[in-house]
Copies of this chain bind each other. A is one copy, B any other.
Amino acid sequence: MKSSDKRLLSDLGEFGLIGRIRERFRVPEGVTGIGDDCAVLPQRSGRDTLVSTDMLIEGTHFLRADIPPYRLGWKSAAVNISDIAAMGGSPTATFLSVALPADLEAGWMEEFLRGYAELSGRFGAALLGGDTTASPDRICINVAVIGECPCGAARLRSLAREGDLVCVTGCLGDSAGGLKAILEGVERDADVQMLIDRHYLPLPRVAEGLRLAATPGVHAMMDISDGIGSDLQHILDASSGGRAAALGAKINLAKLPLSEELRRVCARLGWDAFQLAIGGGEDYELLFTCTPEAEQALDVPHTVIGEVTGRFRVKPGMTGREPEMTDIEWRGADRQFSGFDHFRKA
């Protein structure tokens, strides 16, 4: 923590804290930001508003002792802006709610805001409001993000079609490998440090999402937050909606993009790179489907990992409510993979 402000929030006070937040963020022209009952943003015809929100709880999503506040601030903004990227939109504004223990040092929050501002600033998202309140113990964070895209252009999960290719940007599993390294206290050589950085400092794929959404033949899109085992299933479920014959997918394990760093760390420590890549999540890469013709024309770096198949099977688990993660064939695998459920034990 670089900031040396050791004052406690109970001394700084709620309005002192809000003052510090306001100092860090510039409000764009024509917009009302922090300081009123609501933020006010003009609407434009021919545009759609995009909205998403994510909650981070100390003890569930992060451990205060493990994550530097700058990185937590960065990540809190990044995971939300990634949802805008996943629709093919541009982020406009974020709204930050924080519940903080009164005995937290003001310097912790300064560092959190510095990371939050650094990431949001890179993507042009202003902080236009939120809530500051006291927590009895754990830090709770909620970010709501607003973005926009041309009317009707949002890349929904429900747009996948039989015959589409399944593609991803970047590499998979680095973030999950970084988390595993943190939790297991692995010694931090350069490879491990890269995985940990990928876990704490994800970069939402906003520019890539915009280019993909502007490419004809790119259909369903989402960001990878729970692992492709779970996230691809969401696309299949959403795209099967209401039709008698549901969609499935065949994924070729040999095609999964794994970083050299992840391969080396897994080889050294005996970790299962496929499990990390498929079940781990938090990569915040884009998962999308497109026609083979569109794939040929893409100007966004990506990897084709499989294809969407039709008339695969219809099972009770395909209602969209309790996916059973068995509608994807993992070619080259000797077992099933599944994604993450926040309430279920592994």
Give, as a whole number of angstroms, the nearest-CB distance from A208 to chain B.
14
Tell me whether B45 and A40 are in contact (CB under 8 A). no
Nearest residue, chain B, Cβ from A9: B343
Asked if A38 meets B135 with Cβ closer than 8 Å, knowing A55-B97, A55-B140, the reply is: no
A1 to B154, CA, bound (A): 40
How many copies of this chain sit in the oligomeric assembly?
A: 2
Nearest residue, chain B, Cβ from A85: B37
Asked if A131 meets B55 with Cβ closer than 8 Å, knowing A44-B45, A49-B40, A136-B60, the reply is: yes
Tell me whether A132 and B342 are in contact (CB under 8 A). yes
Tell me whether B43 and A43 are in contact (CB under 8 A). yes
A-B residue pairs in contact (CB < 8 Å), sample of 15: A9-B343, A13-B344, A35-B157, A37-B52, A38-B147, A39-B51, A40-B50, A51-B144, A55-B140, A57-B140, A59-B137, A100-B343, A133-B342, A136-B138, A140-B142
Asked if A36 meets B238 with Cβ closer than 8 Å, knowing A15-B322, A140-B55, the reply is: yes
Is A53 interfacial (CB-CB < 8 Å)?
Answer: yes
A229 to B15, CA, bound (A): 15
Tell me whether A43 and B45 are in contact (CB under 8 A). yes
Nearest residue, chain B, Cβ from A56: B133
- A residues sitting closer than 8 Å to B (CB atoms) are 9-10, 12-19, 32, 35-55, 57, 59-61, 83-84, 86-87, 89, 93, 95, 97-100, 102, 128-138, 140, 142, 144, 146-148, 151, 154, 156-158, 222-223, 238, 319-323, 341-345
- What DSSP secondary structure best describes chain A's contact surface? mixed
Tell me whether A61 and B157 are in contact (CB under 8 A). no
A321 to B147, CA, bound (A): 29
Tell me whether A99 and B57 are in contact (CB under 8 A). yes
- Inside 8 A of A147's CB, which chain B residues have their CB? 38
Asked if A40 meets B32 with Cβ closer than 8 Å, knowing A55-B131, A142-B53, the reply is: no
Tell me whether B343 and A38 are in contact (CB under 8 A). no
- Inside 8 A of A87's CB, which chain B residues have their CB? 36-38, 40
- Inside 8 A of A48's CB, which chain B residues have their CB? 40-43
- Inside 8 A of A54's CB, which chain B residues have their CB? 97, 131
Give, as a whole number of angstroms, the nearest-CB distance from A213 to chain B.
12
Asked if A37 meets B83 with Cβ closer than 8 Å, knowing A15-B341, A99-B57, A140-B140, the reply is: yes
- Please name the 7 residue pairs, one residue from A and one from B, whose CB atoms are nearest each other, closest first: A19-B321, A142-B142, A43-B43, A45-B45, A144-B144, A37-B86, A59-B136
A6 to B135, CA, bound (A): 28
Tell me whether B136 and A38 are in contact (CB under 8 A). no
- Inside 8 A of A344's CB, which chain B residues have their CB? 10, 13-14
